[in-house]
Structure 1
Amino acid sequence: MDHDLRIISTLEKVMPRGGMLHARPLRRLTGFRGQRVAFQAAYCFHGEYYVNQTTEQATRNPFARVRVEGDFEGEVRLRRVECVPVLFPCEKKHDSEYIGEAPGLYPDLLTPLEEGVQVVLEQWRALWVDCEIPDDAPGGDRQVELVFTGTDGAELARAGLTLHVVPAALPPQRLLHTEWFYPDCLAQQYGCGVFSERHWEIMERFLRLAAKRGVNMILTPLFTPALDTLIGAERPTTQLVGVEKRGEEYRFDYTNFRRWVRLCKAAGFAYFEMAHLFAQWGAKYPPKVVAQVDGREETIFGWHTPVSEGGYKQFLDAFLPTLLAELRTEGILERTYFHVSDEPTIYNADTYQAALDIVQPHLAGLPIIDALSHLELYEKGIVKKPVPTNDSIHEFLDAGLTDAWVYYCCAQGYKVSNRYIAMPAWRNRVLGVQLYKYRMEGFLHWGYNFWNCQYSLHPIDPYRVNDAEDSFPAGDPFLVYPGRDGAPEESMRLPVLADAMDDVRLLEWLERLTSREFVMDLVEDGGRFELRFDQYPSGPDYLLELWEAAAAEVEKRIAGLPRPLD
């Protein structure tokens, strides 16, 4: 057979030279009303290689048109899985489960499929197939088939699966999920002014995609976020709150802030996190704050105004009460989280504590979360609601942390879940089951669209550079690419992460229908292993089988209810 076509799960990554040959065929997939379910179609050409244009076959590798057949009544979207150059696949300390540890081409980018595909001699490629199940879909089995045909219409290959629809919708997502959003990176990539009408249009597209993929909390740049910026350098100003200084008094303009909040609500965000009120790595400096001073624009706070020299406290004393009033007016105060400074350590606990003392009187009773990995900050009561790394989270849980958050980033590449390009996709998705078991309140990551080099010295081309210029393992800085005309293009890692969020929704639903013990027996295979953040079954089969088993249990139980429990 010249054309080889195989249906496989989204938990595989198809490398050009046989990176999926051991993947088991996917024959059945279960989904719920209103859900997007996905699979891949891996294809390869084993025929003759033509170079002589005088022969009947004029192209060196034949072109195949692709169409969808079957009785699925929802929308089916096809995209190509493109390989991207990866120069920094992993840190020196890594485990054996990466799909590669050498620089090379790795699958990641999902691009629109136009008329068809060029099939390449003895090279595997893949299509990403999304099936959007209608909100009113009847229950039962559907067939979805992909058909490859030649330019003459002759059928070359055919493969498909059974899509089983459960006639109910998954419950709303309880888990809080934030992927930090950078308006300045969008403005730089698309060459538009910050908060110009074009910028607002582009931001809306990227925000809507994030919300559609289970990101339900949005980082809000009150002032230019003091994140990933070289000390003494600046990122482009993305300040939502206008500031006017007259003598020692401040006035605040919330026009852009209100537009942002209403846009994010409309896009699907339920929760807000205010950008950090102090700079990264110890809270020794304020963020950059630009103000109108006697009719001129000035940077009144930043690297040139250490917190220890005063002035910033008076500013926050004036600003924070007005901010809280705005949050109440917009109806989101009860769904807002705050940050002091990102990634404090025990070595700068004194300056972090001093910063906390400034804002605590204003934010009393409101959640303040900060990413960190030093347990001592929690044990000493300095950070009361920490966001530990997933390779240190068990220390915090053992110390009594409840309603916990967790995050990973560039340093969590050994035995724990992450979303590096060189990691297998199931390593990305297993996070969901872990979040369920430990009843996490939220998950945080620092990079939805960080398209700069490290410390934001200059922007990069995300289609060529995915490691912040040899700084972080490829894929850590972003989940989306800046597509043409202001439209986001997804990495395959974003919908896989969204599936992890759906895993949490499904398991929590099943727990309500049965019991905690019943679901954990399913999750840990009758006690045959203990699931931890650093311990879980290898390979895609565990997650695929768990999803199907949990979905079947839910369907069985809702069948006897007077109406489906949505």
Structure 2
Amino acid sequence: MNDLIRLKEFKIMTISSLEKLLPDKTPELAETENTCFTNEVFNYQIAYYSDNLLMLQDCRWEIVSDIVSFIKIRPVKLIPCTTPVFEDADDYYLVKKPALIPELLVEENAFHPGCKIWQSLFVTIKGDLPVGKHEIIVKLKDETGNELGSCTYNLTVLDGVLPETELKYTRWFHYDSLSSYYGVDVFSDDYMTIMSNYIKNAVAHGINMLYVPLFTSPTNTRIGRERLTVQLIDVTYENGVYSFDFSRLKEFLRLLLDLGVRYFEFSHLYTQWGAAAAPKIIVKENGQIIKKFGWDTPALGKEYKKFISSFLPALIDFLKENGYNENMCFFHISDEPSENTLEHYLEINRFIKPMLGPYKVMDALSDFDFYKIGAVDIPVVTTDHIKPFIDAGVEEMMVYYCCSQGHSGLSNSFIAMPLFRTRVLGIQLYTVDSKGLLQWGYNYYNSALSEEFIDPFFVTDACGNFQSGDSFIVYPDKNGKPLDSIRHEVLFDALQDYAALKLLEKKIGRDNVLGFIYGFGVKPNFSDYPKNAGWLIEFRKELNDLIVD
């Protein structure tokens, strides 16, 4: 192991990607070597500390390695974490009071050491990596070219390929946020370029299912209010008859396929938390563009039932004609229905299900009764309510977490959480045999209930309503591309852990893989695992050894 190197007034060392290096804390996860597979994305960090009172500007790095073309370095920036926790928080957080947390990865080729604080550079190795041991030397230099310090990391690329994931992974894509932040009209040429950049990023981080806005999403909307219109279906109503133009949807789905998306979840057909009303739907009626449906439209009212009875059969015909089968496309009724809306939700399900045919309904929920009585085909279950679903052997179960899962050691991706709590998710998904993961915020740049637009670089908690980081995992760069967070990278590491477990399963069988996992103190739920990063690092090393042994 490298000891802490001190050169003049500068300290430098290599550390694990699992460390969120707080500015006033000495690094704890020193790491100088590791292994990965040829198609794996591998990350580590370079920690540095300067006690030089003189301002160091435009410092640079130089990489010396036979795999230099595969290496990318990004400075890690601090982001305000204004709502670290809720009242029910457990003890496994980095901070519980507002603080600046290392979070944002910036696309810059220079870094700026502060005085008497620890900072880091995030090193990513990605590509069709050559098998063998590779030495990576990184030299840090000041603006005049004088060397401040250097560090060495050894990465051994193993002869093996991680399989493509079997999981469905969606983080809801918020189309209105891109329009608001960049000041471009929804579906304009500039908008589509920006949107494509974000979707490419999502796919590169394992997101293979995308939320498709048939109509404006009714999620995260205060009753009586509305979000910016984002509607792919052109609807006309004339002489008492609805007609639908699917041209934009056709182009949209083709684009998503070209960008690497494999699954589509269509926007909710009814409002959130109980399906009381219709979503906002814009219709051309008698030559006028009007908002025909919305909060004042009862979900089971005559007019909306007439609309749905026309729309769903037409949509299903379109999907079948264009090759989008029931293994690719999924429908939502209402997000997070509660126990007291069960009968109403079930009535809606009975109404629409015959029209869907083989296509399935998936919804985020907590109550096992929704699944038990057949109200939903694919339950997307909160991680703290999953036990009855596991006990019942539900096969098509997916899981999700949000602001309510910040207690009892549950894995999540809040900014204030240590990264081991984010990365353990991949192992947990394997142990419970989940078929996928849903989280509601890839790029939600609004306050809660969408009452105002926010700047995510300064407001990370939806104006104090969610734990910081719950509502987005990427940041908007000025050039129309997203900037990653450390959390985003580590979540992809979690998916790679899952893929490695599936690779080992082919060799020794699922039962033996589970035995290996349980030997580290992990249980088949989302709370019980060692609450530190050390075991995770060792776990992945041993997992790799078992695969290549």
Using the size of structure 1 for normalisation, the TM-score is 0.93
Equivalent residue number for residue 524 of structure 1: 518
Give the Å deviation of 1:328: 2.0
- Residues in 2 aligned to 1:548 and 1:324: alpha-carbon distance in whole angstroms: 47
1:114-158 deviation digits (Å, cap 9, x = unpaired):
2x3222221011111111132xx4311101121112333332211
Give the Å deviation of 1:63: 5.4
Does residue 180 of structure 2 align to residue 173 of structure 1?
A: no
Q: 2:177 aligns with which of 168, 185, 193?
A: 185
Give the Å deviation of 1:375: 2.4
Q: 1:13 aligns with which of 16, 20, 25?
A: 20
Aligned length: 540
- Residues in 1 aligned to 2:296 and 2:335: alpha-carbon distance in whole angstroms: 19
Does residue 202 of structure 2 align to residue 249 of structure 1?
A: no
Q: 2:36 aligns with which of 31, 38, 44?
A: 31
- Residues in 2 aligned to 1:91 and 1:247: alpha-carbon distance in whole angstroms: 53
Does residue 338 of structure 2 align to residue 345 of structure 1?
A: yes
Equivalent residue number for residue 562 of structure 1: none
Q: 1:359 to 1:83 in 2, by over 3 A?
A: same
Give identity over the alignment, percent.
Answer: 34
Q: 1:113 aligns with which of 91, 108, 116?
A: 108
Q: In structure 2, give the amino acid aligned to 1:13.
A: K
Give the Å deviation of 1:365: 2.8
Does residue 85 of structure 2 align to residue 93 of structure 1?
A: no
Aligned residues of 2:300 and 2:348 also touching (Cα < 8 A): no
Equivalent residue number for residue 419 of structure 2: 425
User: What SS class does the counterpart of residue 235 from structure 1 fall into?
Assistant: coil
Q: In structure 2, give the amino acid aligned to 1:43.
A: Y
- Residues in 2 aligned to 1:346 and 1:24: alpha-carbon distance in whole angstroms: 45
Does residue 210 of structure 2 align to residue 218 of structure 1?
A: yes
1:343-374 deviation digits (Å, cap 9, x = unpaired):
00111112211221221111233221111112
Does residue 296 of structure 2 align to residue 304 of structure 1?
A: yes
Q: 1:162 to 1:433 in 2, by over 3 A?
A: same
Give the Å deviation of 1:384: 4.0
Equivalent residue number for residue 3 of structure 2: none
Give the Å deviation of 1:189: 0.6
- Residues in 1 aligned to 2:373 and 2:262: alpha-carbon distance in whole angstroms: 32
Equivalent residue number for residue 186 of structure 2: 194
Q: In structure 1, give the amino acid aligned to 2:42.
A: V
Aligned residues of 1:369 and 1:387 also touching (Cα < 8 A): yes
Please give the residue correspondences for 1:128-527 in structure 2 after superposition, counting only pairs within 5 Å.
Answer: 128-134=122-128, 137-333=129-325, 334-414=327-407, 415-525=409-519
Aligned residues of 2:379 and 2:396 also touching (Cα < 8 A): no
- Residues in 2 aligned to 1:343 and 1:457: alpha-carbon distance in whole angstroms: 20
Q: In structure 1, give the amino acid aligned to 2:213.
A: P
- Residues in 2 aligned to 1:101 and 1:237: alpha-carbon distance in whole angstroms: 37
Aligned residues of 2:16 and 2:45 also touching (Cα < 8 A): yes
User: What SS class does the counterpart of residue 233 from structure 1 fall into?
Assistant: coil
Q: In structure 2, give the amino acid aligned to 1:439.
A: D
**Mean Cα deviation higher: 441-450 or 310-319:** 310-319
- Residues in 2 aligned to 1:65 and 1:393: alpha-carbon distance in whole angstroms: 48
User: What SS class does the counterpart of residue 49 from structure 2 fall into?
Assistant: strand
Runs of 4+ in 1 over 6 A off after TM superposition: none
Q: 1:491 to 1:280 in 2, by over 3 A?
A: same
Using the size of structure 2 for normalisation, the TM-score is 0.95
Question: Where does structure 2 lack aligned partners over 5 or more consecutive residues?
Answer: 1-5
Aligned residues of 1:31 and 1:133 also touching (Cα < 8 A): no
Question: Where does structure 1 lack aligned partners over 5 or more consecutive residues?
Answer: 51-59, 557-566
Equivalent residue number for residue 51 of structure 2: 46
Give the Å deviation of 1:67: 1.3
- Residues in 2 aligned to 1:200 and 1:538: alpha-carbon distance in whole angstroms: 42
- Residues in 2 aligned to 1:307 and 1:538: alpha-carbon distance in whole angstroms: 45
1:445-464 deviation digits (Å, cap 9, x = unpaired):
01111100011111111111
1:501-527 deviation digits (Å, cap 9, x = unpaired):
11111101110111223212221227x
- Residues in 2 aligned to 1:217 and 1:34: alpha-carbon distance in whole angstroms: 21
Q: In structure 1, give the amino acid aligned to 2:294.
A: G
User: What SS class does the counterpart of residue 466 from structure 2 fall into?
Assistant: coil
Equivalent residue number for residue 63 of structure 2: 68
